Amino acid sequence: MKLMKQIFLFRGIGIGKKEKIGTRLIVSFLVLPFLLSFGFLTYLLFSKLMANIIMFLILILSELLISGIGTFFLYRLLHIKFWFFKKLENRRLLYRHLLENRLFYTVKKKDRNDKIKFPKVYFKQDKYTISVSFQLEGRQFQDKFLNIGGALEIMYSADLMDRKTEKGYITYVYSADTILSRISANAVRVGKQGLKLMEDVYWDYVHNPHLLVAGGTGGGKTVLLRSILNGLLRIGIVEILDPKQADFVSLNELPVLKDRVVYEVSDMIEKVIQVKENMEVRYATMRQMQKDKNQKELGNFQEYDLKPVFLMIDEFPSFRSMIAEDRENFIQAELAMSALKQLVLKGRQAGFFVITSTQNVKSDDLPSTLKDNIMTRISVGRLSQYSYDVIFGEENKNKEFKYVEEVNGERVFGRGYFGVSGTPAREFFSPKLPSSNEFSYYTEFEKLERLELEFDKQETIISVYSAKALAEELGVDYRLFKKYKSEFETAGQEFGKTFGSSDLILFETAIKLKTSGKTYQEAITESIL
């Protein structure tokens, strides 16, 4: 089956002169009923009209004007409402772009006008995406096709989602009519693909762990965070830090979030440290389960039917500033930031994930250790170009991030961009809040069952190792242990003065990979991922 797909790979419909002919046929088809109707009317009134030439001219001009306006209205209506006609229009735009930029071959004919021949360009569109493929293979326009993505992005008023080069072709994939895939806030749920945020957008927290949400005042950030909460509370435990005491404090009285929303400095510090300790307990629990099942390698939390845990920090810069200014808890604040880094670096396998939110992002708002390891990023509302650069990274440096207030003539909130680290950002619409008569977060959260962690800390032994003790536990020479530690730190991994269960598992994985024939760098990288 895979071979057959490769042989009969469908890249789309080839672009050529038929696009121009197709447009003429549509216009002719639309204008024909008007012409026939007015022609029949003129025929019925012909004798009277001939007696009054002025009325005859007025009628003809009126018929032409009404036919023109009616045809234009129907043409626009079809292209706005019906996907098939949108597709035809997008093909026509691509044809016009090739023609006006002289991206065609001229074939000379004897005693006749030269013939235009287009290169192999294929167009494909489904409900949410547009794909345009260009033949490369060292052809005349190869260099231009390798750099045409930005021009098409502007032409289609779409967002470049992917750029794939394979088998002599380059394919650009764009989002199309993204707003059509917007969902209701009440429809946000976790499924096999992750947390559903749009019909075709998911936060796959297992494979792209941790989430950054950025949005200016009035951009829809709070609605997005509460929608995310609506999905996650159904399948896991969510702990919330609300340093500004603005959007989540009122939820603390609900059974599902009782004592899980904190805002005082000391409570927030304690909460972060507590969640990190729970991660270590989770790793110790998983390690015991691994032994009970006689498994050679430790699986991730899902393999042991364990619930995910999410730490949501609203307005992260405010949280960081508050704990930094609290001199009485200076040491604990340092421990909290260290614990947060450990959660981001090591939480994925154990099912611990961090969600941070902020407004316009500055380079020093997020420590590099956190930013580099938060794989999924979302923006909503108006942000500065600098913020976009910080959020979406080097791979989007040439992308034109647009701020849009209206879509199809209607004011829209919650529009922004969604991206996974290392890939192009795409247009995004956060879940839409239904009317207050139909839905309220507070009422919805009241219905939810409170979920608890699967272990009792008093019954689970958390091992704490010194460097030498960890080397002994791993069964390796201390000098070799220091070699692995050095390689981990070079890769950005941070360690405290002592080591926990998560560190033990990290080193075990790297040692097994190295023993299987991997280089130190490969073993370190794969064990972190």
Residue linked to tokens 């922004």: 416
191 among annotated binding-site residues: no
Biggest CA–CA distance in the chain, Å, is: 113
279: amino acid identity, one letter: M
**What token pair was written down for 447?**
């219905």
How are strands ordered across the β-sheet holding 13-14?
A: 13-14, 121-125, 129-135, 169-175, 160-166
First to last CA, the chain: 31
> What burial class does residue 75 get, using C-beta atoms within 10 Å of its C-beta: 0-12 exposed, 13-18 middle, 19+ buried?
middle
- CA–CA separation, 359 and 373 (whole Å): 19
How are strands ordered across the β-sheet holding 237-241?
A: 261-262, 237-241, 309-313, 352-358, 211-215, 376-380, 415-420, 426-429
Alpha helix positions (H), 253-326: 265-292, 316-325
42 among annotated binding-site residues: no
Q: Buried (b) or exposed (e) across 58-69, using 16+ Cβ within 10 A?
A: ebeeebeeebee
Angle at 332 between CA 328 and CA 336, to 5 degrees: 135
> What burial class does residue 215 get, using C-beta atoms within 10 Å of its C-beta: 0-12 exposed, 13-18 middle, 19+ buried?
buried
22 among annotated binding-site residues: no
CB atoms within 10 A of CB 74: 17
218 among annotated binding-site residues: yes
Q: In sequence order, which residues have a C-beta less than 8 Å from that of residue 465 and are 6 or more positions away? A: 473, 498, 499, 500, 503, 504
39 among annotated binding-site residues: no
Angle at 59 between CA 53 and CA 62, to 5 degrees: 140
194 among annotated binding-site residues: no
- Is the separation of the CB atoms in 324 and 317 below 8 Å? no
Backbone angles phi, psi at 429, to 5 degrees: -125, 120
| Inter-helix orientation angle 18-44/83-100, to 10° | 120
381 among annotated binding-site residues: no
419 among annotated binding-site residues: no
39: amino acid identity, one letter: G
Alpha helix positions (H), 297-452: 316-325, 330-350, 368-373, 385-392, 441-446
Binding-site residues, in ranges, read 215-222
Binding-site residues for ATP, in ranges, read 215-222
